[in-house]
Amino acid sequence: MTILLSANQTLANNLTALQASGLDRLDAQLLLLHVLGKSDAQRGWLLAHDTDLLPAGCAEALSTLAHRRLAGEPLAYLTGSKSFYGLNLQVNADVLVPRSDTETLVDWALEVLSKMSRHQLKPAPPPCPAGTAADTSPAPEAKQVDVLDLGTGSGAIALAIKATRPDLQVWATDLSAAALAVAQANAQHLQLDVQFSQGAWFAALPAPAHGGTQQFAVIVSNPPYIADQDEHLDALNFEPPQALTSGIDGLDDLCQITANAKPHLKPGGWLLLEHGYNQAEAVRELLTSQGFDQVQSRYDLAGIERCSGGQKPLRQCHSPTHCLHDPPHPMNPTIDIDERLTNLEIKASFTEDLLDKLDEIIIRQQDQIDRLTREVLRLSQPAPNQDNAPPRNPRDELPPHY
**Single-letter amino acid code for the residue at 63:** S
Do residues 219 and 264 lie in contact, with contact meaning Cβ atoms separated by under 8 Å?
yes
Q: What are phi and psi of 372, to 5 degrees?
A: -65, -40
The model carries a pTM of 0.73
* Half-sphere exposure in the Cβ direction for 187 (13 Å, CA): 24
Does 49 share its domain with 148? no
Q: Is residue 233 part of a domain?
A: yes
Nearest residue to 227 via CA among 182, 279, 152, 153: 279
Structural domain containing residue 363: 347-374
pLDDT of residue 369: 80
* Whether residue 316 has pLDDT greater than 80: no
Does 17 share its domain with 166? no
Q: What is the largest CA-CA distance in the chain?
A: 107
**Number of separate domains in the chain:** 3
DSSP string, 157-212: HHHHHHHH-TTSEEEEEES-HHHHHHHHHHHHHHT---EEEESSGGGGSPPPTTSS
* Whether residue 136 has pLDDT greater than 80: no
Q: What are phi and psi of 93, to 5 degrees?
A: -70, -5
pLDDT of residue 325: 38
The whole-angstrom separation of Cα 235 and Cα 73 is 9
Does 252 share its domain with 202? yes
Q: Is residue 270 part of a domain?
A: yes
* Whether residue 11 has pLDDT greater than 60: yes
Does 27 share its domain with 166? no
What's 299's domain CATH number?
3.40.50.150
pLDDT of residue 125: 44
Q: Is residue 276 part of a domain?
A: yes
Do residues 173 and 152 lie in contact, with contact meaning Cβ atoms separated by under 8 Å?
yes
Does 47 share its domain with 154? no
Q: Is residue 361 part of a domain?
A: yes
Tally: H helices and E strands in the chain: 11, 11
* Whether residue 397 has pLDDT greater than 70: no
pLDDT tens track for 38-57 = 988 888 999 999 899 998 88
Does 179 share its domain with 278? yes
Does 19 share its domain with 155? no
Instruction: Show which of 279, 299, 317 is a domain's final residue.
Output: 317
pLDDT tens track for 348-378 = 655 666 666 676 677 767 767 877 777 777 7
Does 39 share its domain with 113? no
In which band, very low, low, confident or very high, does the pLDDT at 121 lie, cut at 50, 70 and 90? very low
